[in-house]
Amino acid sequence: MLMQSKFICRKFNIMKKVILLILFSLFLQQCAQKKVDLTKQPEQKIMEDNTHKNNPYYSRTDKTKLNVSNEEWEKILSPEVYAIAREANTEYPFTGKYNEFDELGEYYCAVCGNHLFRSSSKFASTCGWPSFFEADKEGVSYKRDSTHGMERIEVLCKRCDSHLGHVFNDGPPPTGTRFCMNSVSLDFQADSKK
């Protein structure tokens, strides 16, 4: 009888140790989980705040001409910016974020940060894309475009050669020019946030 109760007692002690061990390992696991969460949150916030964080070529002051391959741009840019700015696709009309937009400020190239337009040259066009009657002469360059069965003049960023849109001669005074741009190729900086 005594032997039996000793055996039960020892068994109980072992079970107690096992339970304590399980509880302790659960506690450690929880601590480790909390540690991961705490370090992840600030990183995610920084990424949301700075969309050009992974783009080493982006600068609003450096005017040095860039010679970067599309293979490299594809690794840096979002698929949307890459498709329009590097493969000359066009965003759907009336969908761009700067189509119906009249805040005061400056427009920059979304790929490299080069200055392109001032809001004072933007006008309300009915074509469905953000339109300007004048561009920064140091910001853009031009190229003949005979694709899609049309003769047009393509507008490119002078610094990185990214596709911005096309230019037409049916714009308003004082220039009579219409720079028809893709919102995706543009970055806007409001005067109020300078």
Residue with Cβ nearer Fe ion (86 or 159): 159
* Strand ranges for 32-185 from DSSP E: 105-109, 115-118, 122-123, 131-132, 140-145, 152-157, 163-168, 178-181
Residue with Cβ nearer Fe ion (33 or 78): 78
Give least dist CB 168 to Fe ion, A: 21
Candidates 34-42, 72-80, 157-165, 180-188 — which segment interacts with Fe ion by CB under 5 A? Answer: 157-165
Interaction residues for Fe ion, span 82-141 (CB under 5 A): 109, 111-112, 114
Candidates 47-55, 124-132, 145-153, 162-170 — which segment interacts with Fe ion by CB under 5 A? Answer: 162-170
Taking the C-alpha atoms of residue 122 and residue 188, their distance in angstroms, rounded to an integer, is 12
Give least dist CB 111 to Fe ion, A: 4
Residue with Cβ nearer Fe ion (155 or 180): 155
Taking the C-alpha atoms of residue 159 and residue 141, their distance in angstroms, rounded to an integer, is 9
Give least dist CB 99 to Fe ion, A: 20
Tell me the number of residues near Fe ion by CB under 5 A. 8
Question: Does the annotation count 180 as an active-site position?
Answer: yes
Residue with Cβ nearer Fe ion (160 or 180): 160
Taking the C-alpha atoms of residue 32 and residue 53, their distance in angstroms, rounded to an integer, is 29
Asked if 157 touches Fe ion (CB under 5 A), the answer is yes
At 175, list the tokens.
């220039």
Taking the C-alpha atoms of residue 111 and residue 31, their distance in angstroms, rounded to an integer, is 42
In a 3-state reduction of DSSP, which class is residue 63?
coil
CA 4 to chain centre: 73
Taking the C-alpha atoms of residue 186 and residue 117, their distance in angstroms, rounded to an integer, is 9
Give least dist CB 48 to Fe ion, A: 23
Catalytic-role residue among 109, 112, 160, 180? 180
Taking the C-alpha atoms of residue 170 and residue 96, their distance in angstroms, rounded to an integer, is 21
In a 3-state reduction of DSSP, which class is residue 98?
coil
Instruction: Give the catalytic positions in this structure.
Output: 180
Q: Note the residues at the interface with Fe ion (CB under 5 A).
A: 109, 111-112, 114, 157, 159-160, 162
